[in-house]
Structure 1
């Protein structure tokens, strides 16, 4: 027998015999679930190895903090060895489910829906407290009636549903999506050929996917060839983070298909919508975008061949669109092109705190009788190859003017530039009352991987196909978007004077902190989240290193399958440890860590700190708390 084959057989025989006494092995030989019978820490576990590494690199008497140790990999030694071997052989993707489960990763593995398909039923249905179903040809050719989805896929990690050919060719059939997929981590819904050839009826999306971390919605050929089938999106994807909606061939060839977006994407973070060939060749479409992307942070929406490219008598209204948002950009390409007798109204459009960027190209080109009015429209807009007839600009805020600038004086700015997030150094004094911002970590819970595994995983944009293969990320999927965004941020050029690195293991984080600050370092974070979003009192305050100007390394989470931190050097800061007291009882409820940036001269004029506090770059210092699961490293003080 070949020597290499003998060694492999011996390896797996040893693995089997060892695990027989300590673990339970499922039918998949790589699905390892550690028994709870072991009470003593294994000296070869990642946690034990990390503790030893800490002692060799951190040359002081400070033990490794619990909040760092708790993030280390939960893998047992043989699990770690096995997955390291699979990563080395580029075969980890074949065992991804076991790997994600054992290593506490976020892999967005979609539940199998083929056995969960709900087909057509001749009666009304109330889908309350349902989870992860596929609706195919449901409600087809129905006359009248209504189906409701309430508390659907609520508070689960991965909510996925398929509404394929739902309510097709129906007449007067209503659908209501109320409290759908709320508080889910990742939510995916596919509305393909939904309500095609439908007449009358109504689809209402109310409180749809609120507070979801990564929403992904696809409305493909939705309501195509429909006749007067109104749709309402109200409180849609509010308070979400980093999601995307795709409306392709929506209401194509439709007749009088009214659509209303009210409170769409309110206070969301980096949410984008793509409207491609929306309402194409439609007749009498009537769409209203009211309160769309309000209070959002950097929303990005693309309208491509929207609203009756070749359509007739369409009407679109953008009211308070992107109002009080932070930045943002919209692209209107071939909007209303070759349309007949259409009408578009932009009222109080894009009144952002920080000016966004909008592009209108071939807007209304080749149209007949198209009327467009811009009233109180915002800054930074480019019009190229735009129809020169039928367009009016009333109170248009032209580039270079001061119109639309907002001076904040104690009022609410918005969720993403909340005044309480930033404060001045003078607030860190005993007895001071202040509002604590929302410091609760909104990221999904994950663990670091052992460096032996991360060192063998591809992590680069030019190796994106390999990265996608490891995590089974399909093209244009949620996972692909997560991977691309994090890789881009990690590969971004550092700011002037900044040193940065993304780390996927605790060992890498230690190495980076030591490379910047030396081996005599301490890492700190705010103790807990008590007092978050409440008025608190400041107790005893201690300045790190005597309150002297110092350098620190700050680490913030990035969204990735395994725990990933973006760490960067922060020069010229002062770091404080402060008691947080209950205002009524004066008892200590938390220990907060605050960092004050003394030199802000390189910050942008539109930075949220200056919007909230006033002033500008280099004129004031800016302080903020270290939020839950973020951390700051400094040299040790004795």
Structure 2
């Protein structure tokens, strides 16, 4: 009986690995990670209304995107028959929803702009490791994510070309005008995914929840766990106190951190960097609001851009001291046992 049960489980595992792409993201999570709580950052974008209304069949190929079965939309001039079928909404809201994002300070090859230094709320999230002690007070600004782009099922996301070469057709399908702010943001996102990582960084851009889970598993093993920063409510910048000693997460394999990028559907820049450590930090604000924050500390920053935001904010040089930062709400840390 035991051997028969093991055989059935093996067949089920093979079936999941072969056909998992066709499963809804939630079911894929439950099959791959049945005993792991889904982080808030993932739960909130599984059913975003950013991608809405009726689903239409689309064919992608020849550098363009053509719509099939929806006479109300024009077909891209670059489309051709025989493209890979995908499903996507016939109408959508702007994926920027009133926000003009700037370069992510959590990608280490970027130099910070003056705009970022003075207006980016993420500036306050960088600190030195020596400050991560119980009772320490920091001025921080935690906000709920304005980036509500939803996950597409893997088979749909995989059918949409994700490259600089294919962008004109993809923009046409998502009704993004060339030269618009949205178009520039899409170009930036794809560029961030295509540019080589810094030395010692293993990077991958996940265009679906399934592909993100699979990447984390390939780097950390099967016993995965995931955490994200959780806030009770949005507040203005205020003083937060560390309520208890930070708790380290992750095993010998380290961790994988995934940062959400701006795109019409959910795309995460995931990377594994040597010499980094993830920690859970309990914070309490002046207004008594509580934040369960995820922090990442980097022991070696010698390969970062010398003009990176962290160095300019903290007044230190690359590779001189460990640098830490809290993660915004829509970033995820994966770790193994």
* TM-score category (smaller protein): 0.7 to 0.9
Structure 1 residues 502 and 418: alpha-carbon distance in aligned structure 2, compared to 1, 3 A threshold: closer
Cα distance in 2 for partners of 1:590, 1:418 equals 15
TM-superposed deviation, 1:431: 1.4
Aligned residue pairs: how many? Answer: 290
Q: How far is the alpha carbon of 1:474 from its aligned partner?
A: 3.8
Match of 1:506 in 2: 209
Tell me: CA distance 1:519–1:95, structure 2 relative to 1, closer, same or farther (3 Å): farther
Alignment of 1:26-105 (within 5 A): 49-58=24-33, 61-73=35-47, 83=56, 85-87=57-59, 90-91=66-67, 99-100=88-89
With over 3 angstroms needed to count, the CA separation of the structure-2 counterparts of 1:47 and 1:447, relative to structure 1, is farther
**How far apart are residue 551 of structure 1 and its match?**
2.2
Q: Deviations over 1:550-597 (max 9, x none)?
A: 62222222221112221111221222112112448xx66221111111
C-alpha displacement of 1:530: 5.1
- Aligned-partner Cα distance in 2 for 1:441–1:50: 23
Cα drift, residue 525 of structure 1: 1.2
Tell me the residue number matched to 1:414.
118
- Alignment match, 1:165: none
Q: Secondary structure at the match of 1:590?
A: strand
Shift of 1:466: 2.4
- Of Structure 1 and Structure 2, the greater helix share is in 2
* Structure 1 contact 47–73 (Cα < 8 Å) conserved: no
Is the CA contact (8 Å cut-off) linking 1:549 and 1:573 kept in structure 2? no
Q: Distance in 2 between matches of 1:583 and 1:69?
A: 28
Compared with structure 1, are the counterparts of its residues 51 and 442 closer, same or farther at alpha carbon in structure 2 (3 Å cutoff)? closer
Superposition deviation, residue 95 in structure 1: 6.0
Q: Considering only CA atoms, is the larger Rg found in Structure 1 or Structure 2?
A: 1
Counterparts of 1:49 and 1:534, CA distance in 2: 40
Shift in alpha-carbon separation, 1:564–1:96, aligned structure 2, 3 A: farther
For structure 1, list consecutive stretches of 5 or more residues without a partner in the other structure.
Answer: 1-45, 109-156, 158-184, 186-212, 215-240, 243-268, 271-295, 299-324, 328-412
Contact 2:297–2:325 (CA<8 Å) still a contact in 1? yes
In structure 2, C-alpha distance between the alignment counterparts of 1:96 and 1:497, rounded to whole Å: 46
Q: SS of the residue aligned with 1:420?
A: helix
Report the Cα distance in structure 2 between the residues aligned to 1:94 and 1:510, rounded to whole angstroms. 37
Question: What is residue 630 of structure 1 aligned with on the other side?
Answer: 331
Structure 1 counterpart of 2:3? none
Residue 79 of structure 2 is matched in structure 1 by none
Q: Is the 8 A contact 1:105 1:447 kept in 2?
A: no
Distance 1:627 1:508 in 2: 21
Instruction: Note the alpha carbon deviations across 1:325-361, whole angstroms, 9 max, x for none.
Output: 269xxxxxxxxxxxxxxxxxxxxxxxxxxxxxxxxxx
In the aligned structure 2, how far is the partner of 1:520 from the partner of 1:64? 14
**Is the 8 Å Cα contact of residues 72 and 505 (structure 1) preserved in structure 2?**
no
1:613 and 2:314 are equivalent in the alignment: yes
Structure 1 residue 537 corresponds to structure 2 residue 262: no
**Which residue number corresponds to residue 602 of structure 1?**
303
Check if 1:106 corresponds to 2:94: yes
Work out which of the residue numbers 186, 191, 205 in structure 2 matches 1:483.
186
Counterpart residue number, 1:449: 152
Write the mapping of 1:149-228 to structure 2, written as runs, cut at 5 A.
157=97, 185=98, 213-214=99-100
Question: Cα distance 1:55–1:458, how it changes in 2: closer, same or farther (>3 A)?
Answer: same
Q: How many angstroms does 1:507 deviate by?
A: 0.9
Q: Is the 8 A contact 1:580 1:592 kept in 2?
A: yes
Q: Secondary structure at the match of 1:576?
A: strand
Deviation at residue 471 of structure 1 after TM alignment: 2.0
Mapping for residues 362-441 of structure 1, pairs under 5 Å: 414-416=118-120, 420-436=124-140, 438-441=141-144
Alpha-carbon deviations, 1:526-555, whole Å to 9, x = none?
111556511111112342248x77622222
| TM-fit CA distance, 1:523 | 1.3
After superposition, the Cα gap between the structure-2 partners of 1:579 and 1:66, relative to the gap in structure 1 and judged at 3 Å, is: closer
- Bigger Cα displacement from structure 2, 494-503 vs 417-426: 417-426
Structure number with the bigger relative contact order (C-alpha 8 A, sep ≥ 6) is 2
Asked if 2 retains the 8 angstrom alpha-carbon contact of 1:105 and 1:563, the reply is: no
Q: For 1:506 and 1:422, locate their aligned partners in 2 and report how far apart those are by CA, in whole Å.
A: 28
Please identify, of 549-558 and 588-597, the stretch whose mean Cα deviation from structure 2 is larger: 549-558
- C-alpha distance after superposition, 1:472-524 (max 9, x if no partner): 34433344323322222211112212122222211111112112212212111
1:224-623 to 2 correspondences below 5 Å: 241=101, 298=113, 325=114, 414-416=118-120, 420-436=124-140, 438-441=141-144, 443-528=146-231, 533-545=237-249, 551-583=254-286, 589-623=290-324
- Separation (CA, whole Å) in 2 of partners of 1:561 and 1:420: 28
TM-score normalised to the size of structure 1? 0.40
**Alpha-carbon shift at residue 86 of structure 1 (Å):** 2.9
Structure 2: distance between partners of 1:73 and 1:493: 32
RMSD (CA atoms)? 3.6
